[in-house]
Amino acid sequence: MSKSLVIVESPTKIRTLRKYLGSDFDLAATVGHIRDLPQRELGISVEEGFKPEYTTIKGKEKVIRTLKQAAGNLKDVYLAADPDREGEAIAWHTAEVLKKKGRRFYRVLFHELTKNAIRAAMSSPQELNNNKFESQQARRILDRLVGYQISPVLWKKVQQGLSAGRVQSVAVRIICEREREIQAFEPEEYWSITAELEGENPPPFLAKLTKKENKKLSIPDEKAARSILADLKGTIFRVEKVVKKAQQRKPLPPFTTSKLQQEAIRKLGFSARKTMTVAQQLYEGLEMGPGEPVGLITYMRTDSTRVAQEAIDEARQLIQEEFGQAYVPEKPHVFKNKKKAQDAHEAVRPTSVFRKPKELAQFLSEDQQALYELIWKRFVACQMKPAILDQTSITISAGPYTFLASGSVVRFPGFMALYISSNEGHSQSKDKETLPPLTEQTALKCHKLDPKQHFTQPRPRFSEASLVKELEENGIGRPSTYATILSTIRGKGYVDLVKGYFRPTELGFIVNDLLIEGFPDILNVDFTAQLEDSLDKIEEGTTDSTTVLQQFYSSFKKDLERAEKEMRSVKSEGLSVALRCPECDKPLKIKMGRNGPFLGCSGYPECRFTQNYTRNEKGRIEAVRPVVDQPTDKVCEKCGSPMVQKQGRFGPFLACSAYPDCKNTMSLKEKGISQAERTGVKCPEKGCSGELVSRRSRRGKPFYGCSRYPACTFAVWDKPVPQPCPKCGAPFVAMRTTKRDGPHLKCFDKKCTYKEPIEDRK
């Protein structure tokens, strides 16, 4: 029997597949995409019906040679890239590269990397899905048209190097609009009054004032609160009504991609990007001791809550064994998909619930273990009986006033014995008040009345979790794109993540406002969602890509031509603000410089006044007072004038006070080392008292060496960070950036495997 070739995306999968496919199959990996649109030009012939001009991705020539060598004269090639649109595109481009007379290509979809799933997929291969490929290609063309044609407008009008994205720019708009909503919000004062009461039996409990004369009561200020307290003085508190009812709380569905990201952000502190990276590792397969590598979860990019019957049966069996028959529902829970779900893949679930998290702990990293346990618990819990809570509500009268106390007790934990979501945990904490047994018309002792001042709050800024939720609810992006959207908008400098919440930068505000003016459709949430629907329809075969692209481009081209002529130019004209120049009284304007936006006089070049600025909590522009030069005891070595300390782009430095006649400057040194050169990390060489400092090699490449050089020659390339390794306890970790992992921390000890993305550090 002749051999066949199986081609996957990731080399990691090869290890898993080789164990199951045997000697009849050779394996190779594309290591992601191998062809794409050219990097430095549009690469789309609009006149020829939006024909893309694909080129080999830089660095992938060797991969293609390896694939061709692996294919050799083999007749059958199985294309097993990931089962989504991007995977379909990789499969399509691979087939184009390996096309040969008499060669047959098969598409294989691995929704999970387990022995049975792999053999089932290999025994029923499919043809390449042209509709799915066309959908991916249309998305790529749309993104290229927007990015490559709007970005030059921003270079001309704002600043070189800026960029716009079809989906990312809408995400920035959502963040900017929430920030402006917060800035415009006017807090209103209100008060609450809580009574600490006790019946004949303990414990004491709290009741909140809600009504007066059976009408909802609002307490606007302290005066009103004090008046009510005076009314309540000496009043008898009496139980008017006790209502007890059982409430059923149903388990949540198994994870979709967006829900997995949201829960991992809230519960584990992962970013969306880190969640998907770790999930990919669990999907592709991990060594379980001396046995075979196995994929631990199903494919992690999905919008479906559908689950295979075999997996449901496994879950029900495990629940019976672990919790007893009382926790197994009469019928399995079936969850409805959202209206626009593609349902191409199952929900994210463990490939076998009998691989319990605790049993796998020795084989998994800390992050892998945490995410696997989250997925495992959520899936098993979704097939358990609902929880039953006894909820008690007590209505209490005090003269004309009504107080309300409520609490709940878990009668039957059901699924909550295993899993409580972050949202359920929040609602539970609000209802956890323990109430004593009380009967109606019982008099109560009032130990204390507690008045509290409050202010209304605006809707909060978006966290990663709530932004993913907002994007999903608005139909922006798809499961495979959420993590990329979040990392891209931060990487472009349009938003910052401050204490876990997104805030627009000044540059983000400026670019967002200009794009809304110039490209109202592109920045419209509904329009972007409709485009996503159109891409789905291309995959479904109910429309074609050319029609979608033509409809989009006809209006986009008009916006583009108008923006090139009419969009305000921050670069040449600036943006008007309600501040005047302190030197000539002409209006100040926001202008763009190498280091970002600043205030400049509209009378330039006659008046050269400039000033940095910031925005207050209301979004109003406030000029930043310039840093005053600090006198020092140093003397200029060139002219003898006093040196002063100034603040520069790279921190404080010394400059001659006789400037501009004397332009001498000096770095601030301490024992010959500037503060900028210090790392705060002690040299790890035994017996050395030096510190690692920034140096440059003879070719100008930065490195970090001991301050006691040449007595100590210890040196490293990666920047040391003064914190011990959390895994092995090494004295410091190092900061490095690679194409594969991006910016991350790693242990300086090469034997240690500690690695953590920098964006995920708390």
Which residues belong to the active site? 299
Name the token pair of 571.
Answer: 């670069």
Cα angle for residues 263, 269, 273 (degrees, 5° grid) = 80
The whole-angstrom separation of Cα 625 and Cα 601 is 16
Name the token pair of 22.
Answer: 């045997």
String of b and e for 663-676 (b: at least 16 CB within 10 Å)?
Answer: eeeeeeeeeeebee
Would you say 91 and 128 are in contact if contact means Cβ atoms under 8 Å apart? yes
Among the listed residues 382, 87, 172, the one whose alpha carbon sits nearest the alpha carbon of residue 263? 382
Would you say 308 and 298 are in contact if contact means Cβ atoms under 8 Å apart? no
8-state DSSP, 629: P
Phi, psi dihedrals of residue 71, rounded to the nearest 5°: -70, -40
Would you say 600 and 574 are in contact if contact means Cβ atoms under 8 Å apart? yes
Q: Residue 7, Cβ neighbours under 10 Å: how many?
A: 25
Name the token pair of 452.
Answer: 């509290």
SS3 labels along 231-294: HHCCCCEEEEEEEEEEEEECCCCCECHHHHHHHHHHHHCCCHHHHHHHHHHHHHCECCCCCCCE
String of b and e for 487-523 (b: at least 16 CB within 10 Å)?
Answer: bbbbebebbebeeebbbbbbbbbbbbbbbbebbeebb
Among the listed residues 165, 167, 171, the one whose alpha carbon sits nearest the alpha carbon of residue 150? 165
Residues counted in the chain: 762
Would you say 300 and 277 are in contact if contact means Cβ atoms under 8 Å apart? no
